[in-house]
Structure 1
Amino acid sequence: MITIACVLLVDRDGRLLMQLRDGNATFHPNAWGLPGGHAEAGETPERFLASPEHARLTAAAAS
């Protein structure tokens, strides 16, 4: 089983952070989606989203 985790980041004005996938993406190229990705085997979605990469994304969106 593959675990995929996404996060909804909404600012105080109600704007939602979305990610535009590039044209070379394997799945759904040139499509808008939520920030996230594939978790490692045995990794919970919460732990995946608490990774340093996602923490930096959350901090950047909050500023």
Structure 2
Amino acid sequence: MRFLHLLWALLFFLYQSAPATGDLYDTLECRNYRGRCRRHCFYNEEQIGTCTGGRQLCCK
């Protein structure tokens, strides 16, 4: 019985940490424009959007 409680807790944690649909959409949109998702763009790159729901920058 204790094992089932741990299993449910693990599944709940994994479900909470899964990306939302909007996060996946803007990340795929960035990759379609041949961009890369990063925390900061390098000096020779420009920001063309956001990734992972606005938590990262899409750099090209």
TM-score tier by shorter-chain length is under 0.3
Q: Which has the higher contact order (CA 8 A, sep 6+)?
A: 1
**Bigger radius of gyration, 1 or 2?**
2
Q: TM-score, normalised by structure 2?
A: 0.22
The structure carrying a bigger helix percent of its residues is 2
